[in-house]
Chains A and B, each alone.
Chain A
């Protein structure tokens, strides 16, 4: 049972435009969410996170939005740059107990120059 879903396996966006990556979750006990970025032949690197007490978190070109009622989060990248081409994973965690992360299946973002 996939508790964290990324329904778009791939996304292509023109350089300079906005990239929007989406993530849905089913477990209402999740209350901390993260986005990771992964280049080929490298491990994932942390990008941005959001706690369930917020609905938005911003860091430079990256903004994450959380809609708890819809169990949906999205990552906005603006403006998109060629170096943003990578696979993006969203992940979710309980804020109690252990620190296990549940990952989505990933979205491959391609920025077209």
Chain B
């Protein structure tokens, strides 16, 4: 079974703080993703990565950055947290096209609910 873990289930931070959300997958997946989920808006892609040290912007990258120094770990960084970043953050991973799988799915972690005060 694929396991995607996220460092915290719940997090409370103050406006202006730097926030790190960590995600680890144990299946040697090439692709990793960060989403946020908000009521009425579904899941929106923030950033994704196809390989170590590679990253691409998703639909809503403003106010966020990412780091992928090791294949199994993908970190989301809120440089200066703001109240509009209060949300549920979901990490996902998938196998990767290079292995001949063109239709495999993304596997999600349990999510981190972040509250910015």
> Chain A: residues with CB nearer than 8 A to chain B?
4, 6, 9, 32, 34, 36, 41-46, 49, 51, 89, 91, 95, 98-106
Contact = CB atoms under 8 A, between A and B. Distances in A.
B107 to A, nearest CB: 7
B57 to A, nearest CB: 10
A81 B48 CA distance: 35
Nearest to A106: B42
Contacts of A91: 43
A43 B109 contact: yes
9 contacts: A4-B42, A9-B40, A32-B103, A36-B108, A43-B90, A43-B110, A46-B107, A101-B43, A106-B42
Given A6-B42, A9-B40, A46-B105, 14 more contacts: A34-B105, A41-B9, A41-B110, A41-B111, A43-B90, A43-B109, A44-B90, A45-B108, A46-B106, A51-B103, A98-B48, A101-B43, A101-B106, A105-B40
Contacts of B56: 98
A46 B103 CA distance: 12
A108 to B, nearest CB: 10
Contact of B41 (A51, A99, A102, A105): A105
Interface in B75-117: 90, 92, 94, 96-97, 102-103, 105-111
